[in-house]
Structure 1
Amino acid sequence: MNNLGKSLLAVSLLTALVGCSGDDGKDGVNGSDGVNGVNSLVRQDNLLMGDETCFFGGVQINSGPDGNADGQLSDDEIDHTSFVCDPSSVSQQGTSLPYSVMRNDLQNGLVAGSTFEIRNGGYGSDMVAHPTNPTQFYALTDRGPNANYTGQYGKGKTFPTPEYTPRIGLFELKHNGQVVKVKDILLKRPDGTLITGLPNSADLGGTGETPYDTKGDPILQDSNSPYNEQTNPIKLDNFGLDGEGLVALSDGTFWISDEYGPHIVHFDAQGKEIDRINAFANDERVSIQLPAEFANRRANRGMEGLAITPDETTLVGVMQSTMHNPNGAVKNSDLVRIITINLESRKASQFLYRQEKKQNSNSGIVALSDQEFLVIERDGTFFSQNPNAMKRIYKIKLDSATDLETVEQTSELVQNPELGLTISGQTIEQVSIDGGWEKLEVYGIVPVQKQLVIDLVEQVNYPHDKLEGMWLIDKTRLAVLNDDDFATWSTAGVLEQKYLDAAKSRVDSNTLYLIEGLELDK
């Protein structure tokens, strides 16, 4: 086909196509309307202080579909939650507990014409969470203001307020970071009369310390009459406590361990004694006896910490330092005993803890589970005067250690009724001095495993000499508290204000520190 023919054919096809194009048809019938969509809702809930996610309060933001179309987001419609938490209002420098002044008439050391305050205060011997109120904690005092003194009747302590009653304080941490005292619970004898902090008699755990007044005279049964060994002896108190460990139970009662006996005493919610545990066979007040070797505790370094397992069946106590078992020749050691007492079976178990430095102090314990615990280990120095001061908290596991009560006896391993487990006639303390931990391990005796959790000197430049209280808020938060000794100190037997620094510019006071971001469940 020539080019002309091709062109005529193309025109014909185009003409045919144009001729086939008709008018548009009518619209079809509309389809049915679709189902309306579900609205999404957002709800903000304010969180109060003490919330388990936002301890200082905050906002919980909830969102989800309005499934029942009522315009309200109900709990079962929430499919997403986020939180905006208020930050901690406790500064790194901590927050001070309130105090009152008991005396301010005594000369401040050797500074003529000056006086100092004896404060109450003194609540730092231990600290424990309130069982049901997440913003409250209990704190314990010891026997009261005292200081080393040697007088006519031998070594002892000056008690500037000898009628002082040891007590438990209930405190609350507020949203603004302040701590307020809610109430005091004064400790009482079974008959309801107030106890003192004066020493016990020798056969019931007395330390052999003579109590003196601020004039250097012995404190007597009758302060208006002269001393007479028979008719007006030195005043002691067999119910007196130098409390150091505190447990608060869900039924409102308390257990307290002390440095005298050591005694472990059960008090009701009003502070009246209802039970007692110690190592003295002749004490008719006790329901459970500690192993006899605990009577060999070192004076003023008794049962410094006390905890209870989460099921509230087993008390766990830690001694402050190496016991004088059998005598003081073993004190320069790093071996410390931990005891557990099942309150139902009355069975005791004993474990060993190895300190980082000899003659350190274990001054607090709190339970994470029935086997894991936080334990305080510290020295007795001030950070401002010693940059190497040690104030640490470790996590330990009891089931990693040897239970001294269950060691199988052999010709060498013998359970002595007065000294506990012995190896070839030596106490565990003696073996640790003579042969070290390696010698104990030869006999299958190993201490608890420990893991550093917090170094308070590194974390907050902890300025105090004593770290003694722990408030376990949850598995990420822990508050700690120092013992300020009622802001009372002594140098060469002379009473004075207790200061944090050598320049004597900062008076020691009970101070709460809050540590967050922990992973205590790992």
Structure 2
Amino acid sequence: MKKLIFSALVMTALFSCSKDDDNNINNQDINYSKLPQEFPFSNLAKINGVDVINGGFGSGAAAHPTRKGEFYVITDRGPNTDYLNGKKFLTPNFTPTIMHFKINAEGKIEVIKYIKLKNPSGQPITGLPNPVGMGSTGEVAYDASGNILGTDNYGLDSESIVAAPDGTFWVSDEYGPHIVHYTADGVEIERISPIGVNTGTRKLPAVLAKRRANRGMEGLCITPDGKTLVGTMQSMMLVPTKALATNTTLTRIVTFDIATGKTKQYLYRQDGGASDSVCDITALGNNEFLVIERDGNFGTQGGIKKVYRINLSDATDVTGADLAAVDGMKVNGKALEQCSWDELTTAGIKPVTKKLAVDLVAKLGYEHDKFEGIVYLGNNKLAVFNDDDFGVVDDGAGNPKAKILPKTGRVDKGTMYIVDIQ
């Protein structure tokens, strides 16, 4: 288990609710005086003398929909390093996991439980890639020694989490991309994937399958009315091909009506290029959201870690008439990723509006590299989580080394901050 460091500020639920929790606790009644503090953690493994911590929580985050002071955080597919044409999975049997925790009556961080994600038969899944036709990224999975591993039909590179009012969870990932519905115990109910991916009956637009490897659906939230899931693609997709996709600042937001399965797509204009990331998303209203933009550098080494306030109200739905079109909607015979913003504007296509809500480096001196989870707490307060990568990074040869924060010289651990936003 990794450490999570918490700041002592008022927390409210992500969703609107009609009453306080069953103990009638108001936000003002929660005792934060003993914070910040850390969760205990243990080692998951030791690879080549390097400790792989049982962490990774912070790829995505959500507040409990009705109980104030309770949160969920989720891991990704597990500790890994780059290797040849894929990844070394340092602990191949690792199961993507949700941690449920709260601030207890004494003001201490208390882990309530861990929820391992499972296939429809109730067996724990892994973070291994999906096979061809079922959401494959094209990556090859290796073990820590470089031996080729298999695939997992239900494998998930989980990146974001929604805690629904009925107790279930929705999770998005970087394979497929998939949006998977899980029971409160983590058993798969439904897997929603792009048309052409052989899983599930309800579908996302086919074009979303052209996401780049390891850059799928990085963010997911639910609107306060509980009707619509809203997902963010991490960065420019390879539409129609890698060679022809030239608008490196264009990425997409997709909405999914839970009752009807109807989808819409909107364009998002990144500040940075194809190597930067649009990560988690959290709702302010049914059309207004906060999203993360970041690069891959540590905050104390010139990294970009920003949150933008966006609105979908005046943006153009670019789904097009044919959901099965593998290149999606076209302008002047070209895929949207081939068009400049001027060309899209001339065609009458408007991206979502955006304005800066907070710059974490300027505001907090934020030192982490992977700023990946956010939860809006109300009253212009935002909870911020990082992904610590299980305390390891690639040494350049596919082997792990300790992930050291350059400012403090300590191994990176999952940290939760509270910050004021504009």
* 8 Å contact from structure 2 (residues 79, 390) kept in 1: yes
Deviation at 1:472, TM superposition (A): 2.1
Q: 1:247 aligns with which of 162, 170, 176?
A: 162
Name 1:501's counterpart in structure 2. 406
Paired with 1:176 and 1:401, the residues of 2 have a C-alpha distance of 46
- Residue type of the alignment partner of 2:315: A
Q: Give deviations 1:112-148, integer Å, cap 9, x for gaps.
A: xxx2211111011100001111111000111111110
* 8 Å contact from structure 1 (residues 50, 135) kept in 2: no
Across the aligned residues of Structure 1 and Structure 2, the Cα RMSD in angstroms comes to: 2.1
Name 2:379's counterpart in structure 1. 475
Name 1:317's counterpart in structure 2. 231
Paired with 1:148 and 1:49, the residues of 2 have a C-alpha distance of 48
Paired with 1:497 and 1:485, the residues of 2 have a C-alpha distance of 10
Q: 2:207 aligns with which of 289, 293, 297?
A: 293
1:91-240 matched pairs, under 5 angstroms: 95-104=37-46, 106-107=47-48, 115-150=49-84, 155-174=85-104, 178-219=108-149, 235-240=150-155
Q: Does 1:335 align with 2:310?
A: no
* 8 Å contact from structure 1 (residues 98, 121) kept in 2: no
Q: Give deviations 1:93-130, integer Å, cap 9, x for gaps.
A: xx5444221112x22xxxxxxx2211111011100001
* 8 Å contact from structure 2 (residues 195, 205) kept in 1: no
Name 1:383's counterpart in structure 2. 299
Matched residue SS, 1:148: strand
Q: Give deviations 1:289-323, integer Å, cap 9, x for gaps.
A: 11110010011010000011112111100000011
* 8 Å contact from structure 2 (residues 305, 371) kept in 1: yes
* 8 Å contact from structure 2 (residues 144, 399) kept in 1: no
TM value normalised by structure 2: 0.89
Name 1:51's counterpart in structure 2. 26
Q: 1:263 aligns with which of 178, 182, 187?
A: 178
- Residue type of the alignment partner of 2:215: R
Structure 1 stretches of 4+ moved >4 Å: 87-91, 174-178
Paired with 1:89 and 1:441, the residues of 2 have a C-alpha distance of 52
Identify, as 1 or 2, the structure richer in helix: 1
* 8 Å contact from structure 2 (residues 99, 113) kept in 1: yes
Matched residue SS, 1:357: coil
Paired with 1:119 and 1:331, the residues of 2 have a C-alpha distance of 39
Paired with 2:294 and 2:129, the residues of 1 have a C-alpha distance of 26
Deviation at 1:56, TM superposition (A): 4.2
Name 1:111's counterpart in structure 2. none
**Identity across the alignment (%):** 44
Q: Give deviations 1:375-421, integer Å, cap 9, x for gaps.
A: 1111110123x23x110111110012111136xx8xxxx98721111
Deviation at 1:55, TM superposition (A): 6.2
Paired with 1:316 and 1:263, the residues of 2 have a C-alpha distance of 13
Paired with 1:506 and 1:171, the residues of 2 have a C-alpha distance of 24
Paired with 1:89 and 1:254, the residues of 2 have a C-alpha distance of 30
- Residue type of the alignment partner of 1:499: I
Paired with 1:179 and 1:478, the residues of 2 have a C-alpha distance of 18
Paired with 2:106 and 2:333, the residues of 1 have a C-alpha distance of 59
* 8 Å contact from structure 1 (residues 416, 422) kept in 2: no
Deviation at 1:175, TM superposition (A): 6.8
Matched residue SS, 1:505: coil
* 8 Å contact from structure 1 (residues 49, 55) kept in 2: no
- Residue type of the alignment partner of 1:426: K
Name 2:278's counterpart in structure 1. 362
Deviation at 1:423, TM superposition (A): 1.3
Name 2:348's counterpart in structure 1. 444
Q: Give deviations 1:52-111, integer Å, cap 9, x for gaps.
A: 4x2645xxxxxxxxxxxxxxxxxxxxxxxxxxxxx76556xxx5444221112x22xxxx
Q: 2:327 aligns with which of 419, 423, 448?
A: 419
- Residue type of the alignment partner of 1:51: N
* 8 Å contact from structure 2 (residues 81, 88) kept in 1: yes
Matched residue SS, 1:515: strand
Structure 1 gap ranges (5+): 1-47, 58-86, 108-114, 220-234
Flag the structure with more relative contact order, 1 or 2, with Cα contacts below 8 A and sequence separation at least 6.
Answer: 2
328 and 395 in structure 1: CA distance in 2 versus 1, 3 angstrom threshold: same
Name 1:392's counterpart in structure 2. 306
* 8 Å contact from structure 2 (residues 375, 384) kept in 1: yes
Name 1:455's counterpart in structure 2. 359
- Residue type of the alignment partner of 1:103: A
Structure 2 gap ranges (5+): 1-22
135 and 415 in structure 1: CA distance in 2 versus 1, 3 angstrom threshold: closer
Deviation at 1:174, TM superposition (A): 4.8
Matched residue SS, 2:86: strand
Paired with 2:175 and 2:312, the residues of 1 have a C-alpha distance of 26
- Residue type of the alignment partner of 1:261: G
Q: Does 1:428 align with 2:343?
A: no
1:400-415 matched pairs, under 5 angstroms: 400-405=314-319
Q: Give deviations 1:146-167, integer Å, cap 9, x for gaps.
A: 11012xxxx1111111001111
Paired with 2:382 and 2:197, the residues of 1 have a C-alpha distance of 40
Deviation at 1:331, TM superposition (A): 6.3
Deviation at 1:335, TM superposition (A): 0.6
- Residue type of the alignment partner of 2:258: L
